[in-house]
């Protein structure tokens, strides 16, 4: 007798996460931790920036909405490709404005956001100790000024950056509930 094959999830139910927040919040670290625990695909959004954006940030120049548009489109395309593959996915992306988050949400009903929230002094300390990244302390003030705090209607999972990475991941998994059980080897229907 043949074993029953798992039922593929409809594309609308493929869980996807965006780990959002300003520079120094720990987006990439949490993304990697969650991807390791869940077995989901992951992508650091910083790696999808056009070269011109990276050059601006290296010079300490904040990005404009126009600068961010192709970057956000690339993140959306990456998420869409994972959905077509039937793979749950996580991406680290600042997603500072509501319009950016709404743009990423459009046509992606399985997408949820996790906001890494923290105090500016903690963020400054973290950035002071960070080496080898093109976003430094000089851009933090502009990112904080640009950040539009997620509203209750956005249903964003808010996580304190003062928690350990393990505790942050535990909090996200608890908030996701059964959706967190949907990994690459398990395609049973588990809506977010």
Domain containing residue 114: 13-178
Residue 23: inside a domain, yes or no? yes
Residue 189: inside a domain, yes or no? no
What string of pLDDT tens digits covers the 192 residues of the chain?
Answer: 455 444 555 666 789 999 999 988 999 999 999 999 999 999 999 999 999 998 888 888 888 999 999 999 999 999 999 999 999 999 999 999 999 999 999 999 889 999 999 998 888 887 776 555 555 567 888 889 999 999 999 999 999 999 999 999 999 999 998 877 765 544 433 333
Residue 1: inside a domain, yes or no? no
Q: Into how many domains does the chain fold?
A: 1
Reported pTM: 0.85
Residue 117: inside a domain, yes or no? yes
Residue 46: inside a domain, yes or no? yes
Residue 27 is predicted with a pLDDT of 94
DSSP H stretches of helix in the chain: 27-38, 51-58, 65-85, 98-105, 120-128, 137-146, 165-176
Residue 187: inside a domain, yes or no? no
Residue 134 is predicted with a pLDDT of 53
Q: How many CB atoms lie within 10 A of CB 124?
A: 15
Would you give the DSSP letter of residue 86? T
Q: Supply the CATH number for residue 138's domain.
A: 3.40.50.300
Residue 191: inside a domain, yes or no? no
């Amino acid at each position: 007798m043949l074993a029953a094959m798992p039922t593929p999830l409809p594309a609308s139910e493929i869980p996807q996460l965006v780990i959002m927040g300003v520079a120094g919040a720990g987006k990439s670290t949490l993304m990697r931790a969650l991807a390791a625990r869940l077995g989901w695909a992951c992508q650091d959004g910083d790696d999808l920036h056009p070269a011109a954006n990276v050059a601006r940030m290296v010079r300490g120049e904040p990005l404009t909405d126009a600068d961010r548009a192709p970057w956000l489109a690339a993140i959306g395309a990456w998420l869409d490709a994972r959905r077509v593959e039937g793979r749950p996915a996580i991406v680290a992306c600042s997603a500072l404005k509501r319009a950016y988050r709404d743009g990423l949400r459009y046509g992606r009903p399985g997408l949820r956001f996790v906001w890494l929230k923290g105090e500016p002094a903690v963020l400054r300390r973290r950035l002071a100790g960070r080496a080898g990244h093109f976003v430094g302390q000089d851009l933090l003030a502009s990112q904080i000024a640009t950040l539009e705090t997620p509203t209750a209607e956005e249903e964003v999972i808010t996580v304190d950056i003062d928690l350990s990475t393990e505790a942050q991941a535990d909090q996200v998994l608890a908030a996701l509930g059964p959706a967190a059980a949907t990994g690459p080897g398990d395609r049973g229907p588990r809506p977010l």
